[in-house]
């Protein structure tokens, strides 16, 4: 069994789509629109086969989870893996140079990873990781 996709509601569907395509090498399909419900979505596909569904629809309430300071139960981050520490460092530098905050790292974790934590444009928490070997 493998994870097929994760979905994210957003008010900024194009901004979020472009972020994952530009900075995480995702491939986007054409936008799906349901005119009756005003639902819109893109699927962003990644090399691993996993996909991210970026969705928008009027009247979806804001998430009250504070992804920066006080985390709450439920899904809290998405992790992307790369092959080397140098790739982790390069991705952190690229995102930071483009105005995205690095919350912590790059660093070695207690469970054997080298990683950093950042936020996408909607403040969803992301990790970029590699095995620390």
pLDDT tens-digit profile of 77-91? 999 999 999 999 999
pLDDT of residue 36: 96
Q: Which superfamily is assigned to 77-131 in CATH?
A: 2,3-Dihydroxybiphenyl 1,2-Dioxygenase, domain 1 (3.10.180.10)
Average pLDDT value for residue range 45-60: 95
| CB of 116 closer than 8 Å to CB of 105 | yes
Encoded tokens for 14: 């194009």
Domain coordinates in residue numbering, the chain: 5-56, 77-131
Encoded tokens for 59: 């009247």
Residue 34: is its pLDDT beyond 90?
A: yes
| CB of 116 closer than 8 Å to CB of 92 | yes
* pTM: predicted TM-score of the whole model, two decimal places: 0.92
- What is the architecture of the domain spanning 5-56? Roll (3.10)
Encoded tokens for 20: 């994952």
| CB of 28 closer than 8 Å to CB of 17 | yes
Q: How confident is the model at residue 20 (pLDDT cuts 50, 70, 90)?
A: very high
pLDDT of residue 42: 98
């Amino acid at each position: 069994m493998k994870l097929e996709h994760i979905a994210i509601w957003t008010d900024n569907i194009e901004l979020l789509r472009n972020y994952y395509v530009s900075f995480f090498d995702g491939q986007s399909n054409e936008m799906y629109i349901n005119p009756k419900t005003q639902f819109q979505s893109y699927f962003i596909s990644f090399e691993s086969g996993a996909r991210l569904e970026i969705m928008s629809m009027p009247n979806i309430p804001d998430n009250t989870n504070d992804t920066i300071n006080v985390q709450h139960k439920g899904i809290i981050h998405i992790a992307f893996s790369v092959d080397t520490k140098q790739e982790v460092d390069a991705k952190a530098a690229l995102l930071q140079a483009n105005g995205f905050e690095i919350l912590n790292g790059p660093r070695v974790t207690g469970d054997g990873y080298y990683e950093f934590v950042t936020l996408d444009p909607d403040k969803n928490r992301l990790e970029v990781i590699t095995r620390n070997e």
